Amino acid sequence: MKPRHMVMTGLLIVAAYLAFWGDKAAPTANAATFKQSARKPADAAPVRKPVTENTQIAALLPRASLMHEEEDEANLFPAKSKPKAAAAVAPPAPAVVSPPPAQVAPPLPFQFIGKQFDGQSWEVYLESADQTLVVHIGDTLLGAYWVDEIKPTLLTLTFLPLEAKQTLAIGQGEE
C-alpha cells in the first residue's frame, strides 16, 4: 500500500469511531441559552416604521385607461407607429409570370465500359449503379431509356418520359 492509502484508511477508522462512539454528553449551557434567545415571545407586536410626510402612494389606475381601445384585441403585438399616408406608398409592380422552363432530361446514369462488333451489329457494355448492362439496338434500359442507334463512336438513347434524345461517347471507331 502506498503511504497515501494508509493515511486515508487511518482517517476512515477515526471517523467511524467518532460516528459510533463519539461524544454522547448532554448539551452545554451555551447551546441551551442560544435556543432560548432565538425564540420570540408570542405577545410581542411587530415593529412598524413611522409614516413620514414624504411618503407618497400612487393611486391605482383603472385597466380600461391603460388599454388602447382603437386597436384590435386579436393583435397581440400592434405596431408602435402609424403607417405613412397611402399617397406616399407606391403601388407594387405587377408580377410578370414567365412560363416554366422546358423540362430537360437528366444526365445519363450510364458509364461506358466497352464494346464489341460481332460481324453484324455492335454490342455495348455499360455500368449503372453497380450493374453491368449488355446493350443492343432496340433495348429498353432501366425502364426509361430506349437504344436508338449504335455507331462506332456514339450510342444514341431516347429518354422515354420526355422523348429527349441523348448521346454517350463510346470510344474510337475501330472494329
Is 114 within 8 Å of 100 (Cβ atoms)? no
DSSP annotation of 63: H
Q: Would you say residue 27 has pLDDT above 80? A: no
Residue with cell 434567545: 37
- The 10s digit of each residue's pLDDT in 72-122 is 566 667 666 665 555 555 677 788 888 888 888 889 999 999 999 888 888
Taking the CA atoms of 134, 135, 140 and 144 in sequence, report the sign of the dihedral they define.
positive
Q: How many helices (H) and strands (E) does the chain have?
A: 3, 7
Given this model, what pLDDT does residue 6 score? 94
Q: How large is the average pLDDT for residues 52-64?
A: 74
Average pLDDT of the chain to the nearest whole number: 79
166 vs 27, more confident: 166
Q: Would you say residue 147 has pLDDT above 70? A: yes
Closest by CA position to 128, among listed 148, 107, 149 = 107
